[in-house]
Amino acid sequence: MNCRKCGKKAVINMRQHKLGLCEQHFLDWIPQQTQRFIEKYGMFTNDDRILVAVSGGKDSLSLWDVLARLGYHADGLYINLGIDDGAHYSSKSQRIAEDFAEANKLHLQVVAIESLEGFTIPEASRRTLRGQGRPCSVCGLTKRHVLNRVAREQNYDVLVTGHNLDDEAAVLFGNTINWATGYLTRQSPLLEAKSGLVRKAKPFFRFYERETAAYALLRGIEYIYEECPHATGATSLYYKELLNTMENRRPGAKLSFLLSFLQAKESGFLADGDSDDSRELRTCQSCGQPTTAPDTCTYCRMWEQIRSRQPRTIEGRHT
Ligand code: AMP
Ligand code: FES
Ligand code: ZN
Ligand code: ZN
């Protein structure tokens, strides 16, 4: 297949878009499309201060690169989760994020959960029943809380993450088979700010994972190839596999699944009553972040409990 723009040999063939592009035109296409999505969904403007959640993976580093190329004012935030047993996942991804920032003269801040709360995520997970021994639930809650808190305290206008189409389609699939209407209502490429929650945007939500990976590769961006070691066997990976099987049969299936959902939602498919967004938000007495709980937020309660508990024994009981 040849490049649609110049006729040279294509380096990427995107069957889902019926589009082949050469290296140069693909490297132009990604920022052009990103800008189109930013404007179409009203995510942010050139006047906004943007905080990019940078994990050291291909999506968030490519996103940071694209936003910088487009001339946005975007700083990075890396959260060190302390996942270092064996694969050195956290120290490696932090080093990659720092090198990227330095090479591109971008500002990156690092928050280490162990310094903030006294324990790494794997240690914390061994001290709570939350997540039933898997650290992902403690980790997800902690990341969401810290990202919002930093963005808010430092007056960023918007927090952006590198979620791609494969991530979004997998979440949608999971929420659909469970008919989790509350989550479905909130699944969106843009969540407006409200009572203590900062505006959140996902400018890469329409890109396939292989498109962001190709972008990182062709731009020479070093990123961490390994998945988090705790992700093995996660349901979201299983959903991604299922969706890829569909995609192989029918190119474009993932994109149409997500876009049709967003369209259906826009036209009122989920009534407001299905949203738990309507619940009143209060202020956590401990950290000042918004919460639906009467006094202390889930994050503060969880970490309080983690600090007061002993690690689980091998049998999985609390001592
Ligand atoms: P994941 O949940 O690992 O698929 O990551 C989704 C997005 O969350 C990434 O593209 C990043 O924008 C953000 N993210 C994940 N892990 C971190 C981290 N350790 N520090 C900052 N942002 C992160
Ligand atoms: Fe959080 Fe794996 S447990 S990234
Ligand atoms: Zn070309
Ligand atoms: Zn709190």
Q: What is the pLDDT along the chain (319 residues), one digit of tens a residue?
A: 899 999 999 999 999 999 999 999 999 999 999 999 999 999 999 999 999 999 999 999 999 999 999 999 999 999 999 999 878 999 999 999 999 999 999 999 999 999 999 999 999 999 998 888 889 999 999 999 999 999 999 999 999 999 999 999 999 999 999 999 999 999 999 999 998 999 999 999 999 999 999 999 999 999 999 989 998 778 999 999 999 999 999 999 999 999 999 999 999 988 765 555 556 889 999 999 999 999 999 999 999 999 998 666 544 444 3
- The sign of the CA dihedral 200, 171, 252, 13 is positive
- Does 78 contact ligand 1 (Cβ within 6 A)? yes
The closest ligand to the CA of 293 turns out to be 4
Threshold 0.75, pTM exceeds: yes
The closest ligand to the CA of 287 turns out to be 4
C-alpha of residue 264 to centroid of ligand 1, in Å: 28
- 168 neighbors 255 (Cβ within 8 angstroms): no
- Does 81 contact ligand 2 (Cβ within 6 A)? yes
Q: Report CA-CA distances (Å) from 149 to 7, 51, 155, 158.
A: 49, 12, 10, 12
Distance CA 68, CA 78 (A): 17
- Does 243 contact ligand 1 (Cβ within 6 A)? no
- Taking alpha carbons only, the member of 44, 63, 42, 43 closest to residue 52 is 63
- Does 81 contact ligand 1 (Cβ within 6 A)? yes
At residue 316, the pLDDT reads 45
- Taking alpha carbons only, the member of 142, 143, 104, 64 closest to residue 299 is 142
At residue 186, the pLDDT reads 93
At residue 313, the pLDDT reads 55
Distance CA 291, CA 19 (A): 45
- Does 94 contact ligand 1 (Cβ within 6 A)? no
- Does 124 contact ligand 2 (Cβ within 6 A)? no
Beta carbons within 8 Å of 277's beta carbon, 6+ residues apart: 185, 186
For the CA atoms of 72, 39, 207, 60, the dihedral, rounded to the nearest 10 degrees, stands at: 30
Q: Which residue's CA is the nearest one to ligand 2's atom 4? A: 228
At residue 318, the pLDDT reads 41
